[in-house]
Amino acid sequence: MKIKYIIFFSIILLIYSCIDKTAPDLPVVVITPDSIMEISPIAPVYYKITATSDEDLTGFKLTSKPSIFIRDSSFGNFTHEISISSKIKLPQIVYGLSDDSLVTLIFEISDTENTIEIEKTLKVVRGYIDVLLDSVTMTSQPDGFFFYSSADTAVYAYEEGMDMSNIDFVFLHDNQLGYIFCSPNANIVKEKLLESEIEYSISTQNHTKLTSFLNTSWSDINYKTIYNLSVVEEFIDGNPSYGVGLNDLYSSQIIAFETYDGRKGAIQIKNTTKNERHLEFVLKIQKP
């Protein structure tokens, strides 16, 4: 009987000694840089991923919240160590992301036994999401002006006390200066309205920068062109006392601008009819 117990416990010890009592170690993964990175459609970011494991490394997966990025790949020749560079590029059009939105990247590195997840944060920066295209018709009557808001793509006739918080441009006509496209706080707007005994305070109006956009075609202006715009403002008829804007507008003329809230864009004049004081233009502007 004693011999049977000895044999039994010997078998148990033998089985126990054959069992690996430690779970496999997780892969060791380092992803740099570690800081929050800024991203745009024209400025991708790069992460360096290094990983080591006692087991064979089998694959890499990238997902995100919200779900913008999805990448899934395997390491063809299994290895215990990898070093790769991952390029993260934001699509030109991303719906549901506002200014300064944060995106969480989820990196997954797997070996034959385990998967480790590491999260990184991206920040979507202003004005990079998309370009809004709008077609506008403005008509100025002898006793009035028209005001354009790119935020709601609407044209307004001026009325005292109206909400001017979203107004980006003013269109008016002067017998000597011709058609004028100017900033809402241009002094000439105040002067022309005073001729009709309408009070207008330029100190409370938005300031829009405007300048001629030369040596380019309208079809070549895209989100990248607009992002790279440097708008050095011009004065109406070259006279600072009139305020910021351009006059003597002509068909096919292209104007670059930057609104009070930092959005940049371009305008192409399509048609001017002097007798009817009529202006048509198309607009490309970074979305708010």
Collect all residues with Cβ–Cβ distance below 8 Å to 24 and sequence separation of at least 6.
Answer: 54, 55, 111, 113, 114
Asked if residue 48 lies in contact with residue 31, where contact means CB atoms within 8 angstroms, the answer is: yes
Distance, CA of 153 to CA of 155 (rounded, Å): 7
227 pLDDT above the threshold of 50: yes
Confidence of residue 255 (pLDDT cuts 50, 70, 90): very high
**Mean pLDDT lowest for which of 96-100, 155-159, 201-205?**
96-100
Per-residue pLDDT at 207 exceeds 90: yes
User: How far is Cα 49 from Cα 7, in angstroms, rounded to an integer?
Assistant: 53
Of 187 and 178, the one with more pLDDT? 187
**Nearest Cα to Cα of residue 278 among 142, 183, 153:** 142
What value does the mean pLDDT of the chain take? 78
Rounded to an integer, what distance in angstroms lies between the CA atom of residue 28 and that of residue 52? 5
CA 14 to chain centroid = 65
Which pLDDT belongs to residue 222? 79
Q: How far is CA 158 from CA 139, 171, 190, 193, in A?
A: 12, 11, 12, 9
> Over 70: is that where the pLDDT of 214 sits?
yes
Mean pLDDT (whole number) for 59-78:
77
User: Around Cβ 69, how many Cβ atoms within 10 Å?
Assistant: 18
Give the position of tokens 């979305």. Answer: 287
Which range (2-11, 75-84, 185-194) has the least confidence? 2-11
Distance CA(61)–CA(275), nearest Å, equals 64
Choose the CATH number for 24-124 among 2.60.40.10, 3.90.1150.10, 3.30.1330.20, 2.30.140.10.
2.60.40.10
DSSP strand pairing (115-124 vs 146-149)? unpaired
Find residue 190's DSSP bridge partners. Answer: none
Please measure the distance between the N-terminal and C-terminal CA atoms of the chain and give it in whole angstroms: 88
Q: For the chain, what is the largest distance between any 2 Cα atoms, rounded to a whole number of angstroms? A: 123
DSSP state of 235: B
pLDDT given at position 25: 78
pLDDT (0 to 100) of residue 254 = 92
Q: What's the confidence (pLDDT) of residue 211?
A: 93
All residues at 6 or more sequence positions from 169 whose CB lies less than 8 Å from its CB, including other chains:
147, 148, 181, 182, 183, 184, 208, 210, 257
- What are φ and ψ of residue 207, in 5° steps? -110, 120
Residue boundaries of the structural domains of the chain = 24-124, 131-286
What are the pLDDT digits (tens) for 88-134?
876 644 545 666 778 898 999 998 888 999 999 988 765 444 455 66
Contact 244, 182 (CB under 8 A): yes
Which of 258, 147, 250 is closest to 192 using CA atoms?
147
Do 150 and 263 form a contact (C-beta atoms < 8 A)? yes
Q: Is 22 exposed, middle or buried (0-12, 13-18, 19+ CB in 10 A)?
A: exposed
In whole angstroms, what is the distance from residue 210 CA to residue 3 CA?
Answer: 101
